[in-house]
Amino acid sequence: MDRTFHSGNRKRLYEKMKENSLLVLFSGTQVRKTNDEDYPFYTDRNFLYLTGLDSREFVLAARKDAGGKVEECVFILPPDPLQERWTGERLKPEQVAELSGITDIRENGQFAQQMHAWAVSGDYAYLYLDLFRVSPTDRDSPAQRLAAAVREEYPYLRMENANILIRSLRTIKQPCEIAAMREAEKITRDGIVAMMKASRPGMYEYQYKAEFDYALGQHGPQGPAFPSIISAGRNNFCIHYYQYKGQALDGDMMLNDVGAWYDNLMNDVSRGWPCNGKFGEKQRLLYECALRTSDYMFAVIGPGMKMADVDKTIRAYNAKMLKEAGVLSRTEDIGTYMWHGGAHHVGYDVHDTVDFAVEETAPGMVFCVDIGIYHEEWGIGFRLEDNCLVTENGCENLSAVTPRTVEAIEETMKKGLVSVAGVL
């Protein structure tokens, strides 16, 4: 994404803000892992969406006056030659301006004093902060800490949740975002196909993961968009499984739920296949139920469909398929075999943030169509998950580039038994 994308996003956000208001957004802080080691830093996605600046301890601040005029600045880490020897070069002011389009650039040590000056100036009645919380007890984000301080020191400033406004911007993807997601789909396809081609009985889950990671590494340093879920056999019955210790035995079904990112846009794709390259009778029966459900959804999704109905329709149609296959007796018992929801938005986050007030699908929305079937008695569990782009006249399966039919998967696996990563 270039600076016109990010500056355009900020302009749309500022238009939604009230007059006489302040906006403060944080990129985030480094989190200690253990002793003298930190976790890899991950920039707040709303901050990145609005600025394009991928760095810790940055602050975006904007002021909107009574006439609607907006002034913006960004507070950045100052140069520190000694620290940069250890952790790499910090963004310089000219780089910040080039990436974000923001020209008023200050050192982050000045933020507290400047915030106080704005708060006591009498020019502002509202303060917009990203007050999203994962849980009601979450109080440790920079925004939550600033909010607590403002309530104590400047109680006349009315707090507004910028997260609600930013969600509304991120709900509909722009053409450049969709283009980036298409590239992410190609990268993910390469990773999944690498696993399919290398697959054979006796492989360990960590070896499948090595194939996926190696394939993604040929496209750049980003790595997976989220922790990969790669499991075999009965480990498939743990929905979020990250151990990678199991071994795929002859006849076992593989499950993977993986994704790549490109230019900060993510995707989320799931495929299942028999590790020996040939679907057994029961495996094929269940997989065809999921595939027919997925195909049906891509035939009926279009503008104006209620988002709540997407998940309901997935469950209802999958129940219909399983009943016709003789697996399910009663529709209301679908929960026996479907253990999780069938749709979620995807974009800058793998479970993307959207405007919950928007009840209907619209062109530019991208969400997953996720059919999971888990038959514990048969020892078969898998997911078929694709990324759906709503268009003017219907929808498009962005992840159709990855083999998804029984025939396509088996044909792909016939070409394999060669390790890309050299781990076998």
CATH number of the domain that residue 194 is part of: 3.90.230.10
Nearest to 58 by CA among 85, 30, 80: 30
Residues 185 and 231 placed together within one structural domain of the fold: yes
Residue 144 lies in a domain: yes
Residue 42 lies in a domain: yes
For residues 310 and 296, what is the distance between their CA atoms, to the nearest angstrom? Answer: 11
For residues 276 and 252, what is the distance between their CA atoms, to the nearest angstrom? Answer: 8
Residue 407 lies in a domain: yes
- On whether the CB atoms of residues 228 and 258 are closer than 8 A, the answer is yes
Residues 152 and 126 placed together within one structural domain of the fold: yes
Instruction: Work out how many domains the chain is built from and give that number.
Output: 2
Q: Can you give the pLDDT at residue 139? A: 64
What the block records as the tokens of 124 is 């502002």
Q: Can you give the pLDDT at residue 421? A: 46
Residues 95 and 199 placed together within one structural domain of the fold: no
- On whether the CB atoms of residues 270 and 371 are closer than 8 A, the answer is no
DSSP 275-334: TTSS--HHHHHHHHHHHHHHHHHHHH--TT-BHHHHHHHHHHHHHHHHHHTTS-S-GGGG
Residues 360 and 227 placed together within one structural domain of the fold: yes
Domain boundary among the residues 142, 170, 198 is at 170
Residue ranges making up the domain that contains 402: 175-414
Q: Where does residue 424 rank: exposed (0-12), middle (13-18), buried (19+ CB within 10 A)? A: middle
Residues 290 and 341 placed together within one structural domain of the fold: yes
Residues 154 and 236 placed together within one structural domain of the fold: no
Q: What are the distances in angstroms from CA 279 to CA 75, 250, 253, 287?
A: 57, 11, 9, 9
Domain boundary among the residues 170, 196, 228 is at 170
Residue 350 lies in a domain: yes
Residues 145 and 273 placed together within one structural domain of the fold: no
Residue 420 lies in a domain: no
What is the residue-level pLDDT of the chain in tens, covering all 424 positions?
999 999 999 999 999 999 999 999 999 999 999 998 999 999 999 999 999 999 999 999 999 999 999 999 999 999 999 999 999 999 999 999 999 999 999 999 999 999 999 999 999 999 999 998 766 666 688 999 999 999 999 999 999 999 999 999 999 999 999 999 999 999 999 999 999 999 999 999 999 999 999 999 999 988 899 999 999 999 999 999 999 999 999 999 999 999 999 999 999 999 999 999 999 999 999 999 999 999 999 999 999 999 999 999 999 999 999 999 999 999 999 999 999 999 999 999 999 999 888 889 999 999 999 999 999 999 999 999 999 999 999 999 999 999 999 999 999 999 875 444 444 4
Residues 33 and 117 placed together within one structural domain of the fold: yes
Residues 241 and 104 placed together within one structural domain of the fold: no
Residue 422 lies in a domain: no
Residues 79 and 219 placed together within one structural domain of the fold: no
Nearest to 336 by CA among 376, 369, 309, 383: 376
For residues 93 and 108, what is the distance between their CA atoms, to the nearest angstrom? Answer: 12
Strands 158-161 and 265-266, bridge-based pairing: unpaired
Residues 77 and 161 placed together within one structural domain of the fold: yes
Mark residue 188 as left, alpha or beta (left: phi above 0; alpha: psi -120 to 50; beta: remaining): alpha
Residue 369 lies in a domain: yes
Q: What are the distances in angstroms from CA 332 to CA 201, 308, 340?
A: 36, 18, 15
Q: Can you give the pLDDT at residue 356? A: 81
CATH of the domain at 113: 3.40.350.10
- On whether the CB atoms of residues 275 and 250 are closer than 8 A, the answer is yes
Residue 419 lies in a domain: no
Residues 153 and 203 placed together within one structural domain of the fold: no
Domain boundary among the residues 170, 188, 223 is at 170
Q: Can you give the pLDDT at residue 134? A: 62
